[in-house]
Structure 1
Amino acid sequence: MELETEIPENQAPEISDVQVTNITRKGYTVTCKITDDSKVRNVQMPTWSENGDQDDLIWYTPSQKGNTYTLNLDAANHNYDTGKYNTHIYAYDEEGKVSQVELEVELPENEAPVISNIEITNVTNDSYTVTCNVSDDVEVTSVKMPTWTTNNSQDDIIWHEAEIKDGVATFTVNRKDHNFEYGEYVTHIYAYDKDGLNTFQSAGTTILQEPDKETYGKPIIKDVRITDANDDGFTVTCTVSSKYEIDRVMFPTWTYKNDQDDLIWGTGTKNGDQYSFRVERSAHNYEFGTYVTHIYAYDKNGNVNTIELNYHNIVNTTVRQGWAYINGQKYFFDNAGNIAGNMPAKKIIDVSSYNGNIDWDTVKQYGDIDGAILRITAHPGHYIEDTQFARNLAECRRLNIPFGVYIYDYANNTNDAVYEANFVIDILRKYNVSPSELSYPVYYDLERRQISKAQNIANMNAFISTMNANGYTAHVYSYRAMLNDTLNDPSIWANVSWMAAYTNTIGWSNPYYKGNFGWQYTSSGTIPGISGSVDISCWYVI
């Protein structure tokens, strides 16, 4: 007897119990059950918003637990678009059959952030703290607290950025940021979300009470103003009162750069109860940049009070490029109009036999240079004295041009480096060049990429220590790209005081070295008295 069995056709997966829940501004959840007469091979839930067609289409793979599949859609993946979203469900089985369900979900429009529970705490004579709760249907990205004193309208308004932590925004208003004024302060609060919507609330007014000078015990400093700020300096004025007669008011000032190397204790000029002092850039090495000023007020009973002003920047407002003189001081402006080093600079050339027979008298008279670094050796297969060194040295001496020397390194090991150092020393001694005669160091020119970093460090140490042992100061010269690569090591950078970078700006800072520094900004400069191109550097202090 023959038996016949009918094997049923494979059925596509069945998608059932589809639900969309937890619909918020941040997204929604899709769940469904999927079964099949064989086995479900794959489930995909492609999703996109109708804003911008399908430019944000993402094919999501939902999580699975048993035959339940779940997609927790994050609207952040879709630019937090609001309005209509499309989510399709595709279920595939082992035999290639597929089922599909199409869903449409409406995400609510964005709502502005909510500000609540505003509190003013920690009120002292000098400050107060503003706190508030902030919330949003997506995320609060920024809270600003513009604050000003009612004296002179909003002349001191500052849009302070509050700190946000766990839904609480906090900022401490300080008298220091508002001309050290006492009196009535006004603070407003603005909360912003990802879409740029904002909410405003007033935090009201707060009084920073001026102390009673009869009981305060020291002079009171207030109403600090910076006026007449220009390229040359700025004037600081303050009001000082005390139970006792004021003896003097001092305004110690220095530039942020190089700590307090240019600290000046200026004495204020009295006009009633006001004292003022003019900070002049000329008294601080003609430096542009950040200035630090404190105020010390002394009364005749020996009491003293001090405050620290916010930093003030003296900004160069004259756009220039290249070399320029300002008030008799020479500055170098890079191609972006920045002053190299924010201070006066020296124009230094470096020359060798490649520059031929230099007319040093013309260089001196018309080149506007402040010094020269002379190549001391050449290497046509072995070390020799640079064929122009003797003449270049003699001319610099004759014309009182400050000079240093450099040697291009060919060392393969420390013995070679010691040989190089001794070769340089022998030439210097041949011409009676003492260490004190060198206005610039002996430069060890590291430019060969085939030498490893470790070997360069060893060679450098051998060369410098040999020079130092003979009384000469030796530093390293190289170019920026190599210093950021093969020579990128603190022990090398600590000795780098001359660097080449033929770019619009120097684009480099060295945290391991302080002192005189040269930026060789071109190899194609023009100097009267020198045929063809010449290397030129600007020298300043870092």
Structure 2
Amino acid sequence: VTYRVNTKDHNGESGVYNTHIYAYTKSGKKYGVQAPQTTIVNDKPEISDVEIEVIDTDSYKVTCYVNDFSDISKVQFPTWTEKNGQDDLVWHEGTVEGNTASVIINRENHNFEYSKYNTHIYAYDDEGLANVYTTTINLEEPDLSEVGIILKDVKITDANDDGYTVNVTVLSNSEITKVEFPTWTYKNDQDDLIRETGQKNGNVYSYRVNRSDHNYEFGAYITHIYAYTADGQVKGIPLPIHNIVNTTVRQGWAYINGQKYFFDNAGNIAGNMPAKKIIDVSSYNGNIDWDTVKQYGDIDGAILRITAHPNGYYIEDTQFARNLAECRRLNIPFGVYIYDYANNTNDAVYEANFVINILRKYNVSPSELSYPVYYDLERTQISKEQNIANMNAFISTMNASGYTAHVYSYRAMLNDTLNDPRILANVSWMAAYTNTIGWSNPYYKGNFGWQYTSSGSIPGISGNVDISCWYVI
């Protein structure tokens, strides 16, 4: 009898492995022996066969072979140009398929510069060990006679709470008649679109984006640049999203001395301490652009709906697998939640096992969850005692498999049919779409989330998003 021990079945860990062997007879007797200890040493991942493919004058693709005796957890491609040191440094997340990792580097993420580009490759395995490979390539400026107009060296300057200034170098053999900077906020599509002409200084055109021209909104701003010539040529580029961050107005999210805080509408600091910005998403949010969420959403984590309940039967949420994979790829801390439909404790145990089976299906260990498994109690037709019994059955079943489970609900219900110390002791996430949280829970201490809106706006997610601020109580 032969059996192969795979490190991936043991958290990818190196070190001393102990194996016991048990044989059973038909009469029920068991015989056991301990195999010799085996020491497995994990080396750093191997990076080889690096190839660079120039796609066009604006981008190139880096592909490499990565290998390790345990699984490769991620591959990153930090990149910057020779101009101005590392002012344009971006840690690009690679795509890993089997033993091949790749990424596309685009000029738009590096100030639209034509220059020598430096790309390093960092490969990490499950134990966090990393190896590094260095490569360079030149993105050459194209011939004006071939492209007509060149837009390059885009710089954002004078960025503050009130706005930011966009500067771009524009070249053409024809006369430049105007350069426009259409700008709008990510929130509510283009309801605040403004299309203004920039100021010229030699070959550099500048435009000031003012928050006062865009409903005084903080958050994600989108600016495009269009150059026009006298002979009818037009060239346009979309800029990466720019966030106007609230650092002085004490309402909403603000940064103070590098720490993130959430101020309610009365100007109070939630939790009187730094907070984390957490979103919760489901199939209702559609196909999420998680790269944009990570880069521009300013989030610190996500809670993913793991199940849906169409036609009275539980199924896996149709976006859960993808949302989970993307959070893993981008190192976004995550938890999961299930909306409760249990009418009795047997139903609650079934719900817990359904969640456990999905988590195990994707090898989500208890330690990988940065937030608990949330049991969403919102049905007013269930009695208080039945909710308590269902909650206890769900939580104990989750705990028996090593998973931590807590309760989520909304403030009005927690003040009414769920207002019981046995429930409140497990409530660590609460919804109240009000000016202030207006609620305290003396029966629970620890990490706590206030879901303050169901109509938030996050770049990369179409439509409204639930957003919570997370702190310690």
Provide the TM-score with structure 1 as the length reference: 0.49
Q: Report the Cα distance in structure 2 between the residues aligned to 1:249 and 1:96, rounded to whole angstroms.
A: 85
Instruction: Indicate the residue corresponding to 1:212 in structure 2.
Output: 143
1:431-442 equivalences in 2 (<5 Å): none
- Output the CA distance in 2 between the equivalents of 1:281 and 1:331: 19
Matched residue, 1:502? 438
- Give 1:202 shift: 1.6
Within the candidate set 256, 266, 288, 2:196 is matched to 266
**Bigger RCO of structures 1 and 2 (CA < 8 A, at least 6 apart):** 2
Note the alpha carbon deviations across 1:375-429, whole angstroms, 9 max, x for none.
Answer: xxxxxxxxxxxxxxxxxxxxxxxxxxxxxxxxxxxxxxxxxxxxxxxxxxxxxxx
- Spell out the pairing of 1:25-424 with structure 2 (5 A cutoff): 31=1, 70-91=2-23, 93=25, 98-203=30-135, 205-217=136-148, 219-318=149-248, 320=250, 333=267, 335-336=269-270
**1:289 aligned partner, one-letter code:** G
Q: Secondary structure at the match of 2:138?
A: strand
Which whole-Å CA distance do the structure 1 matches of 2:10 and 2:379 have between them?
51
Q: CA deviation at 1:299?
A: 1.3
- Structure-1 residue corresponding to 2:366: none
Shift of 1:85: 2.5
CA distance in 2, matches of 1:108, 1:514: 49
Q: Deviations over 1:56-104 (max 9, x none)?
A: xxxxxxxxxxxxxx54433344333433333233445577765432221
Distance in 1 between the 2:27 and 2:140 partners?
82
Task: State the one-letter code of the partner of 1:267.
Answer: T
In 2, Cα distance between equivalents of 1:306 and 1:271:
19
Counterpart secondary structure, 1:214: helix
Q: Is residue 265–residue 436 contact of structure 2 (8 Å, CA) maintained in 1?
A: no
- Please state how far the C-alpha of 1:129 moved relative to its aligned partner: 0.5
CA contact (8 A) 1:142 1:191 kept: yes
Classify 1:136/1:96 alpha carbon distance in 2 versus 1 (closer, same or farther; 3 Å).
Answer: closer
Q: Determine the C-alpha separation between the residues in 2 that align with 1:164 and 1:239.
A: 36
Paired AA for residue 502 in structure 1:
G
Letter in 1 for 2:70: V
SS in 1 for 2:182: strand
**What SS is found at the alignment partner of 1:201?**
strand
**Structure 1 449/307 Cα, relative in aligned 2: closer, same or farther at 3 Å?**
same
Aligned to 1:282, what secondary structure does the other structure show? helix
Show CA shifts across 1:429-451 (max 9, x none).
xxxxxxxxxxxxxxxxxx99459
Give identity over the alignment, percent. Answer: 52
Structure 2: any 5+ residue segments left out of the alignment? 255-263, 278-377, 383-409, 418-432, 440-448, 457-461, 465-473
Gaps of 5+ in 1: 1-30, 32-69, 325-329, 341-446, 452-478, 487-496, 516-542
Residues in 2 aligned to 1:331 and 1:254: alpha-carbon distance in whole angstroms: 24
User: Highest CA radius of gyration, 1 or 2?
Assistant: 1
Judged with a 3 Å threshold, the aligned counterparts in structure 2 of structure 1 residues 448 and 101 are, in CA distance, closer, same or farther, namely closer
Matched letter for residue 220 of structure 1: I
What secondary structure is seen at the aligned counterpart in 1 of 2:41?
coil
> CA–CA distance in 2 between the matches of 1:265 and 1:147?
32
Contact 1:480/1:508, CA 8 A, preserved across alignment: no
- Paired with 1:92 and 1:131, the residues of 2 have a C-alpha distance of 50
Contact 1:335 1:505 survives alignment (8 Å): no
The answer (yes or no) to whether the contact 1:82–1:106 under 8 Å persists in 2 is no
Distance 2:23 2:146 in 1: 82
CA contact (8 A) 2:45 2:130 kept: yes
Q: Residue 500 and residue 232 in structure 1: after superposition, are their counterparts in 2 closer, same or farther (change >3 A)?
A: closer
The structure richer in strand per residue is: 1
- The CA distance in 2 between the partners of 1:282 and 1:321, in whole Å, is 16
CA, structure 1 residues 508+111, in 2 after alignment: closer, same or farther (shift >3 Å)?
Answer: same
Q: TM-score, normalised by structure 2?
A: 0.56
3-state SS in 2 of match to 1:73: coil
Equivalent pair of 1:114/1:134 in contact (CA under 8 Å): yes
Query: Post-superposition shift, 1:197?
Result: 1.2
CA contact 2:72–2:125 (8 Å) conserved in 1:
yes
Corresponding residue for residue 372 of structure 1: none
The alpha-carbon deviation at position 153 of structure 1 amounts to: 2.0
Distance, in Å, in 1 between the alignment partners of 2:33 and 2:24 is: 12
Displacement of 1:200 after TM fit?
1.2
Alpha-carbon spacing, 1:90–1:499, altered in 2? closer, same or farther (3 Å): same
> What letter is aligned with 2:52?
I
* C-alpha displacement of 1:120: 0.8
1:473 match: none
Q: Answer whether contact 1:239 1:273 (CA < 8 A) is retained.
A: yes
Distance 1:72 1:250, change over 3 A: same
Q: What per-residue deviation string (whole Å, max 9, x for no partner) do you get for residues 196-236 of structure 1?
A: 11111122x2121212223323x211100001100010000
What amino acid maps onto 1:87 in structure 2? Answer: T
1:150 and 1:235 map into 2 onto residues whose CA distance is 23
Summarize the Cα distance change of 1:257–1:482 in structure 2 as closer, same or farther, 3 Å threshold: farther
**Matched AA of 2:67:** S
One-letter amino acid of the counterpart of residue 173, structure 1: I
Q: In the aligned structure 2, how far is the partner of 1:132 from the partner of 1:93?
A: 51
Contact 1:480 1:499 in 2 (8 A): no
Retained in 1: the 8 A contact 2:265–2:435?
no
